[in-house]
Amino acid sequence: MSESQTTSTGSKETREPRRELLGVDSTTLADMQSGLTKAIAAGFRAYAEELSPDNVLRLGPDNGMIEGFVAGSASLFEELAKTSRQMLEDTRAARARRNERKEQHKAAAPQIDYERLAQHIAAEMQKNAAKK
């Protein structure tokens, strides 16, 4: 979810997350809020569909409301589960990218062994002094 964004032309483009809050980038947080909103909307839609006039006449108002509540809750939790799985995948991918960047940074700038450097310089200085 946080790796790409659909533009107005319908094409996908890669985007970089802008900020991080507690290790989660802003794109992932926005996707989570969007998923939560969709889950709530799906729950209300399922509830409303179960409260159709035909269903209420067939089951009665009480049973129609109960079925609507069950259907709405099930739909809500299904959507929340999808959003949670996607957010988990996004945070794992972000963590992997961060770790990869750290490893690349470590590889690019190795630690300097100052003791060994000092010994090498001293040996070179002794060679140069012996030549003179």
- In this prediction, residue 92 has a pLDDT band, given cuts at 50, 70 and 90, of confident
Q: How far apart are CA 13 and CA 3, in angstroms?
A: 8
Tell whether the model's pLDDT for residue 86 goes beyond 60.
yes
User: What pLDDT, on a 0 to 100 scale, did the predictor assign at position 76?
Assistant: 92
Tell whether the model's pLDDT for residue 85 goes beyond 80.
yes
Q: Report pTM.
A: 0.54
Number of domains the chain is built from: 1
Alpha carbons within 13 A on the beta-carbon side of 101: 5
**Residues above pLDDT 70, as percent of the chain:** 79
Q: Please, what is the average pLDDT of the chain?
A: 79
Which residues span the domain enclosing 32? 4-131
- In the beta sheet, which residues pair with residue 4? 14
